[in-house]
Amino acid sequence: MAMQASHDPSAASLRLSLSRRIFAVEGMAILAVFALLIAIFMVTAPQTFLSYRIYMTFLANVPPPMILALGLTFVVVAGEMDLSFPSIVAFSSYVFAILFKNYELTWLAFAAALIVGVILGFVNGLIVTQLGIPSMITTLATLFLYGGLVVIVSNGLTVAVPSVTDTVIHSVFAGRIGVLPVQALWALAVAVALWFILNRHRFGENVLFIGDNARVAHVVGIRVDREKLKIFTLMGLLSAFAGILLTLETTTYFSSQGMGYLLIVVASVFIGGTSIFGGSGTIVGTVVGALIVAIIEAGLVASGVQGFWTRFLIGVVFLVSVTLNMALEDPDRVPLFKKIRMRLRR
């Protein structure tokens, strides 16, 4: 019966449309890729991936880059780019760490660090909207500018704050509920809030519109400059929050903090399926993209891949993940698959 069913064209088309409908749900395709990766690693490294501990390690370390990637998704959806976030992470981390170390401030240090992030993000937005410099160039410049400034202000010193683990703020943002790192819940909360803003709020609607066509958005009455200012300010705020979470987890500020995140955060956004051209983006995709980026190296290492092969295979897995994501959403989005399908039809 099953074989008969498989030859029934109507059943086949029904199955195709069902799978298309499933993968049309936001993030389902990339979630399937993620599940596939986890399944592969469970087979190749069962001792690691069948134990809860490695997932807790991911949940402790992924939130900062994930929150950065969520903020960057908004920026990219609006057709812009922000490369300055590593320096904002460093700046905010420094402000938090030094205020805690010198004055034993916790919540005030937290607020001050967030305010610094907001200001730096706002300045990015001002430069982009008022000087008309493309955001890629603006934020590349401020990556150096803010990064240089924090080294000047901090005199280049590393600030270790081991006693922060005894504070309430550490328990609230980087503590553990049982074995679950609290920062994972904060990252989830940020993701949920941003999903609602992007998909259910006027601001998100405006961001999508601007990314699709800024000129038309302006014509229909959207105050494009004001909305862009908000986007960069939001990115600054989230960068500061990510910096605080990172400092609370590592209990140290150092001047190159955040720099290692630059490429992996950008990769998380695009692996998640957000369009590089703006106008469309997916919060769920970015969340899963950040998880994929985080598990690949650890998974390969646990599977026994060593030396230079690790880096090579990370590249392979990136490419396969992005291709699979597109193919599952719509096979025709991958030109090679489209050609093959058309040839098979002939």
- Say whether residue 188 binds other proteins (CB under 8 A): no
Nearer to other proteins, 30 or 54 (CB): 54
- Say whether residue 156 binds other proteins (CB under 8 A): yes
Contact region with other proteins (CB under 8 A), list: 115-123, 194-202, 227-235, 299-307: 299-307
| CB-based contacts of 239, cutoff 8 Å, min separation 6 | 68, 71, 85, 88, 89, 92, 117, 120, 121, 258
Contact region with other proteins (CB under 8 A), list: 185-193, 201-209, 273-281, 306-314: 306-314
Binding mask 21-60 for other proteins (x = CB under 8 A): ------------------------x-xx--x-xx-xxx-x
- The minimum distance between CB 29 and other proteins, in angstroms, equals 25
Distance CA 260, CA 262 (A): 6
- Say whether residue 95 binds other proteins (CB under 8 A): no
Nearer to other proteins, 111 or 140 (CB): 140
- The minimum distance between CB 111 and other proteins, in angstroms, equals 24
* Closest alpha carbon to 240 in 122, 123, 116: 116
Which residue type sits at 218? H
- The minimum distance between CB 153 and other proteins, in angstroms, equals 11
- What residue has token string 């106008």? 279
Distance CA 339, CA 342 (A): 5
Helix/strand number for the chain, H first, E second: 18, 4
Rule CB under 8 A: choose which of 66, 240, 246, 266 binds other proteins: 246
Angle at 305 between CA 302 and CA 307, to 5 degrees: 120
- Say whether residue 259 binds other proteins (CB under 8 A): yes
- The minimum distance between CB 231 and other proteins, in angstroms, equals 25
Q: How far apart are the first and last CA of the chain?
A: 27
Angle at 233 between CA 227 and CA 235, to 5 degrees: 105
296 three-class SS: helix
Rule CB under 8 A: choose which of 7, 10, 155, 335 binds other proteins: 155
What part of residues 65-94 is at the interface with other proteins (CB under 8 A)?
none
Total of chain residues touching other proteins, rule CB under 8 A: 48
Rule CB under 8 A: choose which of 102, 130, 158, 280 binds other proteins: 158
Per the CB < 8 A criterion, the answer to whether 64 and 242 are in contact is yes
Rule CB under 8 A: choose which of 42, 157, 276, 340 binds other proteins: 157
- The minimum distance between CB 228 and other proteins, in angstroms, equals 29
DSSP string, 188-256: HHHHHHHHHHHHHSHHHHHHHHHHH-HHHHHHTT--HHHHHHHHHHHHHHHHHHHHHHHHHHH-EE-TT
Longest dimension (CA), the chain: 76
- Say whether residue 178 binds other proteins (CB under 8 A): no
- Say whether residue 301 binds other proteins (CB under 8 A): yes
- The minimum distance between CB 2 and other proteins, in angstroms, equals 39
Rule CB under 8 A: choose which of 32, 111, 112, 160 binds other proteins: 160
DSSP 330: -
Residues within the interface to other proteins (CB under 8 A): 45, 47-48, 51, 53-54, 56-58, 60-61, 151, 154-158, 160, 162, 246, 249-252, 254-261, 263-264, 294-295, 297-299, 301-304, 306-308, 310-311
